[in-house]
A and B are shown apart, each in its own frame.
Chain A
Amino acid sequence: MLDARTLQQLTDIVGAENIATGAQDLICYGYDATQMEFLPDAVVHPDSPEQVSRILQLANKENFPVFPRGAGSGFTGGALPKGGGVVLVTTRMNRILRIDTDNLVAEVEPGVVTEAFQMEVEKLGLFYPPDPASLKFSTLGGNVAECAGGPRAVKYGVTKDFVMGLEVVLPTGAIIRTGGETVKGVVGYDLTKLLCGSEGTLGIITKIIFKLLPYPDSKKTMLTVFDSIDGAARAVSTIIKNKIIPTTLEFMDHATLTCVERRFNLGMPDSARAVLLIEVDGDRDLIEKQAGQIHKLIEPLGLVQFRVAKDAAESEELWRVRRLVSPSLRDVNPDKFNEDIVVPRSKVPDVIRRIEVIQKRYDIPIVNFGHAGDGNIHVNIMIDKSVPGQLEKAHEAIKEVFQAALDLGGTMSGEHGVGLAKQPYIPLELNAEQIAAMKAIKGALDPNNILNPGKMLP
């Protein structure tokens, strides 16, 4: 609990209209997409690194926790105020400071919404590729803190691959710059990379310098349907093995297709067991050639349908299948655990087979789709929490899914992070020495453990 004097000091920092303590405000800043809920004691909306710094200094002095929050759209609870404290919302800091067309970099504040930024740079013929599914509402600050991915990661990489430098308020209140805007730079430790994906535990990001690319000349979208899940999974590794890197390679399994088909009736062939949505981008002639090569390569793998979009409208129509997945899933069961394991690309067929076995053993529906091109599969474990025993079963199944990914040389999470949701499973992937090294860093930067405490590390 915060005392009246501390609240007054917070008010002095951000102004009365930017602090809230009413029951309704606390509820509305206590949830995220995990559907977990914790009530903070206050919500503050600072507008500058100086204000953020003063809040953190006060937190160290008065010993209250601070939970940074962007749009609150995370899947693992990274922004949730577990145990109470102050939620610090970064969305007022939402200016695009500059887009430098000479050096292909941009500097933004953390509260800018991802899609808004993309639209601005695209007006100048430039490209910011990371495209998490939440891009219409998630913030760039949140994207960096969680190291968000997206379908285009196959070719372009994830958020951290585009972060060149940061301005960060450290947990003790010091405002520092990391990295810069040069392509090269080796002076000191790479704090920029350390902070990407640190889930708001090591500092609060107040400015980001992004690398930009020229906007690709054109793109081609293909919807490919297979008569077996194995055929689709092998198609992924076959394409990559033949040295074609598509922009996206999205995968949907039979259970996913059944959900979408039941609700939206898209007229898939009866023999459809898996779908790959493939997109290539770049020079017009090159992508024509690549589309032809892809068709030839995957034809022998049980391909039953191959559709190529002629224009943007048709491309949108093909993408519709993928976009309808999320709204259809709830028809299977009301509650879902959305995990995002990653395996080396060549191991996609193996991991899918392992998940099929797990599903049979626990007799709960598991729906798989996602960014197969980079080995990142969204494993959705669908249960009804109100049925006794299902929740426990789900936790056991999740553990086995994680173990399968790790056995194949992968990781538990590609883009959602750890937060609170995956914390219990951390020892599956990290050993005591690794955890100790990470805790040493956290302890050095945040001696009083005031910034997003209780997250990520066990």
Chain B
Amino acid sequence: MTKKHTDPLERVTQEMKKCVKCGACRANCPAFGTFQREPATARGKVALAQHLVKGDITLDDGTYSAMSKCLLCGSCVDKCPNQVPTDEIVIAAREALAQRRGLTTFHKAVGQVIRNRKLMNFGALAAAIFGPVFFRKVPATSGLRLRFPMPFIGGSRHIPQIAKKPFMKRHPEIIKGEPGKPTVVFFVGCMTNFVYTEIGEATLALFRHLGCTVIIPQGQQCCGLPGMSGGDLETVRELAEQNLAAIEKHQADYVMTACATCGGALHKLYPLVIGKRNPELKARLQAVADKTVDAAVLLQKLGLHPEETGTGQRMRITYHDPCHHRTAGIAKQPRTLLKETPGLDLVEMEGADRCCGLGGTFNVYHYESSLDINAGKSKAIIDTGADAVVTGCPGCIMQLSDGLKQAGDKTRVLHTVELLARKIRR
């Protein structure tokens, strides 16, 4: 039987039927918030997916444009009266688009880069040395930028400083802890490994403080979410398999990550998206998913006392909920830890759980809109008068820093673990 281009969509037709086009998604979708046109809403994309299956429209530029206007943030799913999984439907549509039209140049580059750790390591080294010059000299439209190993970065944004030596190169694979204490696999993630190594160091310090044995599997790769966002599910499957192998090599009680996005991949999207398409991997993906836990959640569970490890500095902070935390129901745990940390005064911003606008690779295709969404976020942060905005996702950290800098504001952007580990890191 020949494969139809809409095959990936056929898999989610039952899910599409749940949408009654009530319009509730108009209130919650950040992409609709900025584009203000119906094809950007969740119900619009579901309607288009239904017409694709029926064959009334094809996987042409119009479909591509509509399907690209989604951050995969899951807000629509959370607030949908019928819990229509529009994120899954959009991923399927993008997979169909990729199969039909081929990947875009950018997403081809993303696939090549995230599949190739050596290239990433080399790229990171090169960028650390030449980074600032490199990015000022190369125009945003140049294909050279696409060769750069951080697949999240596009447009004219403020580029974060790339680490001279990736986090994983600084540590052995196994760091022995006290006997009888849990063994924790640390899934590091690209942003922490190559850019925000401080997050990795703080996380490591906290789990060592608790006496845990920390394993940093050397075979771990990118989680693959940038690929998923472009419909390149073949690359995501490859990466998922490699990550499975790297994690399964070790006996561990938990698979921990300090990146909300990586957590979302391991915990939810691997079994849901990759497992659905590759039944032979499903049980293994589910086993890892069941063990996957966010750093802050695990720290709280293992009984961290932030007064022993954290700040000691008077600071007014506000907390931003990453989308991949919100969809996993993580909100209280990091806040509880931060409130217990000496010196920190937590004030809530308006719409703390609203997407920052990064949205995987959304910001590359729709940088202006991504900035527009981010501007609202920046304003909410600035309005609190906080010294720092704290969050649990390095992707959000990059986006929030960019937004605040563009707004000419000096509010610092920090990861929860950085504040929790302040005393033991000095």
**Are A and B bound to each other?**
yes
CB distance from A416 to the nearest CB of B (A): 13
Evaluate contact between A138 and B23: CB separation under 8 angstroms. yes
Q: Assign chain B's interface to a size class.
A: 20 to 34
CB distance from B48 to the nearest CB of A (A): 6
User: Could you say which residues of chain A place their CB within 8 Å of the CB of B20?
Assistant: 33, 35
Q: For the complex, is A91 an interface residue (Cβ under 8 Å from B)?
A: yes
Evaluate contact between B63 and A330: CB separation under 8 angstroms. no
Evaluate contact between B38 and A28: CB separation under 8 angstroms. yes
Cβ contacts B12-23/A at 8 Å (1 or 0 each): 000001101111
The CA-CA distance from A29 to B44 in the complex, in Å, is 9
CB distance from B102 to the nearest CB of A (A): 20
The CA-CA distance from A73 to B20 in the complex, in Å, is 10
Would you list which residues of chain B between 37 and 66 have a CB under 8 Å from chain A? 37-39, 41, 43-44, 47-48, 51, 56-57, 62-63, 65-66
The CA-CA distance from A334 to B82 in the complex, in Å, is 11
On whether A327 and B47 interact (CB within 8 A), knowing A24-B39, A24-B63, A27-B57, the answer reads: no
The CA-CA distance from A136 to B48 in the complex, in Å, is 24
**Residue from A31, A33, A134, A330 within 8 A of B47 (CB atoms):** A31
Evaluate contact between A27 and B51: CB separation under 8 angstroms. yes
Evaluate contact between B23 and A137: CB separation under 8 angstroms. yes
**Residue from B22, B24, B66, B83 within 8 A of A24 (CB atoms):** B66
The CA-CA distance from A413 to B41 in the complex, in Å, is 29
User: Could you say which residues of chain B place their CB within 8 Å of the CB of A27?
Assistant: 44, 47-48, 51, 56-57
Q: What is the chain A residue whose CB lies nearest that of B64?
A: A24
CB distance from A74 to the nearest CB of B (A): 9
On whether A23 and B56 interact (CB within 8 A), knowing A28-B48, A138-B23, the answer reads: yes
**Residue from A24, A37, A71 within 8 A of B26 (CB atoms):** A71
The CA-CA distance from A61 to B402 in the complex, in Å, is 52
User: Could you say which residues of chain B place their CB within 8 Å of the CB of A20?
Assistant: 37
**Residue from B22, B41, B56, B63 within 8 A of A33 (CB atoms):** B22
User: Could you say which residues of chain B place their CB within 8 Å of the CB of A31?
Assistant: 21, 43, 47
Highest count of chain B CB atoms <10 Å: which of A20, A25, A37: A25
Evaluate contact between B81 and A24: CB separation under 8 angstroms. no
The CA-CA distance from A24 to B46 in the complex, in Å, is 11
Q: Assign chain A's interface to a size class.
A: 20 to 34
User: Could you say which residues of chain B place their CB within 8 Å of the CB of A136?
Assistant: 24, 27
Q: For the complex, is A72 an interface residue (Cβ under 8 Å from B)?
A: yes
Evaluate contact between A137 and B24: CB separation under 8 angstroms. yes
Would you list which residues of chain A between 111 and 146 have a CB under 8 Å from chain B? 113, 115, 134, 136-138
CB distance from B46 to the nearest CB of A (A): 10
User: Could you say which residues of chain A place their CB within 8 Å of the CB of B38?
Assistant: 25, 28-29, 72
Q: What is the chain B residue whose CB lies nearest that of A111?
A: B36
Evaluate contact between A24 and B23: CB separation under 8 angstroms. no
The CA-CA distance from A136 to B23 in the complex, in Å, is 10
Would you list which residues of chain A between 231 and 284 have a CB under 8 Å from chain B? none
Evaluate contact between A22 and B62: CB separation under 8 angstroms. yes
The CA-CA distance from A134 to B20 in the complex, in Å, is 14
Q: What is the chain A residue whose CB lies nearest that of B63?
A: A24
User: Could you say which residues of chain A place their CB within 8 Å of the CB of B21?
Assistant: 31-33, 35, 72
Q: For the complex, is A177 an interface residue (Cβ under 8 Å from B)?
A: no
The CA-CA distance from A31 to B47 in the complex, in Å, is 9
Evaluate contact between A23 and B82: CB separation under 8 angstroms. no
Cβ contacts A95-124/B at 8 Å (1 or 0 each): 000000000000000000101000000000
User: Could you say which residues of chain B place their CB within 8 Å of the CB of A330?
Assistant: 18, 82
The CA-CA distance from A35 to B21 in the complex, in Å, is 6
Q: What is the chain B residue whose CB lies nearest that of A30?
A: B47
Evaluate contact between A23 and B22: CB separation under 8 angstroms. no
User: Could you say which residues of chain A place their CB within 8 Å of the CB of B81?
Assistant: 326-327
Would you list which residues of chain A between 317 and 332 have a CB under 8 Å from chain B? 326-327, 330
CB distance from B351 to the nearest CB of A (A): 12
**Residue from A32, A37, A327 within 8 A of B82 (CB atoms):** A327
On whether A137 and B48 interact (CB within 8 A), knowing A23-B56, A24-B63, the answer reads: no
On whether A28 and B47 interact (CB within 8 A), knowing A73-B23, A91-B36, the answer reads: yes
The CA-CA distance from A24 to B41 in the complex, in Å, is 12
The CA-CA distance from A437 to B25 in the complex, in Å, is 40
Q: What is the chain A residue whose CB lies nearest that of B43?
A: A31
Would you list which residues of chain A between 64 and 96 have a CB under 8 Å from chain B? 71-73, 91-92
CB distance from A240 to the nearest CB of B (A): 30
Evaluate contact between B47 and A137: CB separation under 8 angstroms. no
Q: What is the chain A residue whose CB lies nearest that of B32?
A: A137
CB distance from B76 to the nearest CB of A (A): 11
The CA-CA distance from A35 to B57 in the complex, in Å, is 19
User: Could you say which residues of chain B place their CB within 8 Å of the CB of A326?
Assistant: 81
The CA-CA distance from A207 to B38 in the complex, in Å, is 23
The CA-CA distance from A92 to B23 in the complex, in Å, is 17
User: Could you say which residues of chain B place their CB within 8 Å of the CB of A37?
Assistant: 47
User: Could you say which residues of chain A place their CB within 8 Å of the CB of B36?
Assistant: 91-92
Q: What is the chain A residue whose CB lies nearest that of B21?
A: A31
The CA-CA distance from A327 to B84 in the complex, in Å, is 11
Evaluate contact between B62 and A23: CB separation under 8 angstroms. yes
Would you list which residues of chain B between 285 and 313 have a CB under 8 Å from chain A? none
User: Could you say which residues of chain A place their CB within 8 Å of the CB of B51?
Assistant: 27
Highest count of chain B CB atoms <10 Å: which of A28, A137, A138: A28
The CA-CA distance from A27 to B39 in the complex, in Å, is 9
Cβ contacts B366-397/A at 8 Å (1 or 0 each): 00000000000000000000000000000000
On whether A28 and B27 interact (CB within 8 A), knowing A23-B62, A33-B21, the answer reads: no
User: Could you say which residues of chain B place their CB within 8 Å of the CB of A115?
Assistant: 27
Evaluate contact between B48 and A24: CB separation under 8 angstroms. yes
The CA-CA distance from A24 to B93 in the complex, in Å, is 14
Q: What is the chain B residue whose CB lies nearest that of A330?
A: B82
Cβ contacts B58-93/A at 8 Å (1 or 0 each): 000011011000000000000001110000000000
Evaluate contact between B48 and A327: CB separation under 8 angstroms. no
On whether A23 and B57 interact (CB within 8 A), knowing A28-B39, A29-B38, A326-B81, the answer reads: yes
User: Could you say which residues of chain B place their CB within 8 Å of the CB of A33?
Assistant: 20-23
28 intermolecular pairs with C-beta atoms under 8 Å apart: A20-B37, A23-B57, A24-B48, A24-B57, A24-B62, A24-B63, A24-B65, A25-B37, A28-B44, A28-B47, A28-B66, A33-B22, A33-B23, A71-B23, A73-B22, A91-B36, A92-B36, A113-B27, A115-B27, A134-B22, A134-B24, A136-B27, A137-B24, A137-B25, A137-B26, A138-B23, A330-B82, A334-B17
Residue positions of B touching A, CB distance < 8 A: 17-18, 20-27, 36-39, 41, 43-44, 47-48, 51, 56-57, 62-63, 65-66, 81-83
The 7 closest A-B pairs by CB, nearest first: A73-B23, A136-B27, A28-B38, A24-B62, A137-B26, A28-B44, A137-B27
For the complex with contacts A28-B38, A29-B38, 19 further pairs of A-B residues with Cβ separation under 8 Å are: A22-B62, A23-B57, A23-B62, A24-B48, A27-B44, A27-B56, A27-B57, A32-B23, A33-B21, A71-B23, A72-B21, A73-B23, A115-B27, A136-B24, A136-B27, A137-B24, A137-B25, A327-B81, A330-B82
